[in-house]
Structure 1
């Protein structure tokens, strides 16, 4: 007996597939949130930047908070990939730390510096009131602190960092410095000024 039941192979997918590049749209949203902040950004701002209709935005991300959290995750992937590319090829722990500091210094001057850091912006605006956003920020900070600590420990094992340095405390200090550089960078500091911070920071390592 024949049946009209459809097999999984010929069933039509429910709903229309998204007709936009999600990563590209989120990267445009990153720029808006970084410059304007969460509360200063409207759905209209995001619609214009992401090149999507408000309806498409709501369907894909539900609301402005959903866009921020997705943009935050995308931002972390992009920044971590670039940071690791900058430090991984370098053999000595001390030189890895300097490369990481220079990586942040490059992002903390000129137009890029004034655009700001989405981790810093999210921490300042939402970490105290939004537990999910706060967790995202905590994970981001913990990741960067761990990278610094591992580089310090490597430096101590290869002789490029003094063994008198407490790796955990120094890593936390470097994390605070890195985040502080991004905040100061919003004020339009020059490249030489931010690179000079790197030189001073290296003295923490003995």
Structure 2
């Protein structure tokens, strides 16, 4: 099931919920229409499962990167680089399922809006945690307002994912990530 969802989330990231057809999803997932409907009641259920898989995978990958760093500054840099690195080339053009769902579905689907809000709140809380760590270990200025800065960085990171759909280069996105870090010191 995870392999099938991994393929479905690629289709949803590239085409959006409304742009993805059941035929495309079936082909990508290597499932017949009958098999899809045995596993999921409808396209929305596939999307919800793919969304949850996407956020779980990205959170796991990010946590692994952050755990390898020691200071708040280093961890924050790793997070900025993670988002910058996800925002160029094929990965960048595929886009972010959270940003896509926020733009396409959250206004009309309360359950989806709640999932998007949870994902964004989780990212903002992590940013705040890293800022607080950096302030306590002396690698970031104590004068930063951790709440406002975390929110600003969240907006920046989600902007990375949207801008990445336009075909930016790795050098452009890494330069933006490094500049964001310089703004904090």
Q: TM-score, normalised by structure 1?
A: 0.88
- The aligned residue for residue 3 of structure 1 is none
Superposition misfits of 4+ residues, deviation over 2 angstroms: none
Residues 1:25 and 2:11 are matched in the alignment: no
Post-superposition shift, 1:204? 3.2
Which residue in the other structure is 2:115 paired with? 136
1:27-46 alignment, distance < 5 Å: 27-46=6-25
Matched, 1:89 2:65: no
Gapped runs of 5+ residues in structure 1? Answer: 1-21
Give the aligned partner of residue 17 of structure 1.
none
Q: Which residue of 1 aligns with 2:99?
A: 120
Q: 1:77 aligned to 2:52?
A: no
Equivalent residue, structure 2, for 1:204: 183
- CA apart distance, 1:200: 1.5
Counterpart residue number, 1:167? 146
- Which one of 165, 174, 177 corresponds to residue 156 of structure 2? 177
1:116-147 deviations in Å (ceiling 9; x for gaps): 11111111100000000000000000011011
Q: Which digits, 9 at most, give the CA deviation of each residue in 1:126-181, with x for residues without a partner?
A: 00000000000000000110110000000000000100000010001111011000
Equivalent residues of 1:141, 1:175 under 8 A apart: yes
Figure out how many residues of one structure are paired with residues of the other and give that number: 185
Q: What is the CA–CA distance in structure 2 between the aligned matches of 1:41 and 1:47, rounded to whole Å?
A: 10
Shift of 1:203: 2.8
Supply the RMSD in Å over aligned alpha carbons.
Answer: 0.7
Aligned to 2:86: 107
* Structure 1 segment 45-60 matched on structure 2, within 5 A: 45-60=24-39
Q: CA deviation at 1:58?
A: 1.3
Q: CA deviation at 1:199?
A: 1.5
Between Structure 1 and Structure 2, which shows a larger proportion of helix residues? 2
Deviations 1:64-111 (A, max 9, x none): 000000000000110001001111121100110010000011110011
Scaled by the length of structure 2, what TM-score is found?
Answer: 0.98
**Alignment of structure 1 residues 55-66 onto 2, 5 Å:** 55-66=34-45
Matched, 1:158 2:140: no
1:49-68 deviations in Å (ceiling 9; x for gaps): 00001111112110000000
Residues 170, 204 of structure 1: 8 Å contact kept: no
